[in-house]
Structure 1
Amino acid sequence: MELRERLQAAVKEAMKAKQAERLSTLRMVTSAIKDREIAARGEGGEVGENDILALLGKMVKQRQESAKAYAAGARPELEAKELNEIAVINEFLPQQVTGADLEAAIAAAVAEAGASSIKDMGRVMAVLKAKYTGMMDFGAVGALIKAQLG
């Protein structure tokens, strides 16, 4: 089932089950996707699965930062809300690549891009983003790429 269809089905299920918080998060996600589609129409492009996965990953990252800020500000109720939203969004993201698999993926991308120095980091990132969109935290991956190239 396509990601958009899974989201729509989840919205319907949340409505039927009267899960207000889950429904709110799912509607926020679908709204963000529609906003992206409208912006892409103006540019003559189309929003694909990888674009949606990247958007979901960005939304998770934003909520993680907000949760940290709320925790630092002693606002546990708002932190819990952000963490609940992260859990709902993560249901639609593929499993994250971590540990040895992450190291192997980076090594393969370095080899595929023919990278030999830090100057080639952009090419390595492009290879990884093409294959692992939504499956990696590319902010953290940058440091690992530098370690392998440096």
Structure 2
Amino acid sequence: MSLLKAIEKDYLSAYKAKEDVKVAVLRMLKTAIKNASIELRRDPTDDEVLDLVARQLKQRKESIDQYTKGGRPELAEQERLEMVVLQSYMPVQLTAEELERAIDAIVAETGASEMKDMGRVMQALQAKHKGQIDGKTASALVRARLA
């Protein structure tokens, strides 16, 4: 089943079960998907939907930071609940060891040896492990590997 259909199915079941947080998150996600389909003039692919989910997750993380700094723990907790729903649509994240092995493999594959090759390594890493890595963590590890 495509990710788009899974989101629609989960939305309907959450709506029927009166799961307010899940309904709200999936409604926002469906709106983002609809906007993307209008821009693309076709239904988005699973990779494009995954990008939208990742973008929503990033927004939630930034909001949590802002709410925490602003002394609004109740709003930060609401964002955390929304993140849990969104993370269920993301692929399983690589462990630190798996990420290091993936970086080593890509560095060897691309022949990268210095910092100027970092962009090439990061691009290959993100293409190969789409949605499975945290960009900041991966960037720090690649930087340390190439330094």
TM-score normalised per structure 2: 0.92
TM-superposed deviation, 1:48? 2.2
| Cα displacement string for residues 107-127 of structure 1 (whole angstroms, at most 9, x for unaligned residues) | 111112221111111211121
**Whole-Å Cα distance in 2 between the matches of residues 140 and 62 of structure 1?**
17
Give the corresponding residue for 1:61: 58
Q: How many percent of aligned residue pairs carry the same amino acid? A: 41
Give the corresponding residue for 2:6: 6
- Do the aligned residues in 2 keep the contact of 1:56 with 1:134 (CA within 8 Å)? no
TM-superposed deviation, 1:18? 1.0
Q: Please point out which of 74, 90, 94 is paired with 1:93.
A: 90
One-letter amino acid matched to 1:123: R
Matched, 1:24 2:24: yes
Give the corresponding residue for 2:138: 141
**Which consecutive segments of 4 or more residues in structure 1 shift more than 3 A?**
none
Across the aligned residues of Structure 1 and Structure 2, the Cα RMSD in angstroms comes to 1.5
TM-score normalised per structure 1: 0.90
One-letter amino acid matched to 2:8: Q
Count of matched residue pairs: 147
One-letter amino acid matched to 2:60: R
**Whole-Å Cα distance in 2 between the matches of residues 46 and 148 of structure 1?**
39
**Whole-Å Cα distance in 1 between the matches of residues 22 and 51 of structure 2?**
21
Q: Please point out which of 49, 67, 70 is paired with 1:70.
A: 67
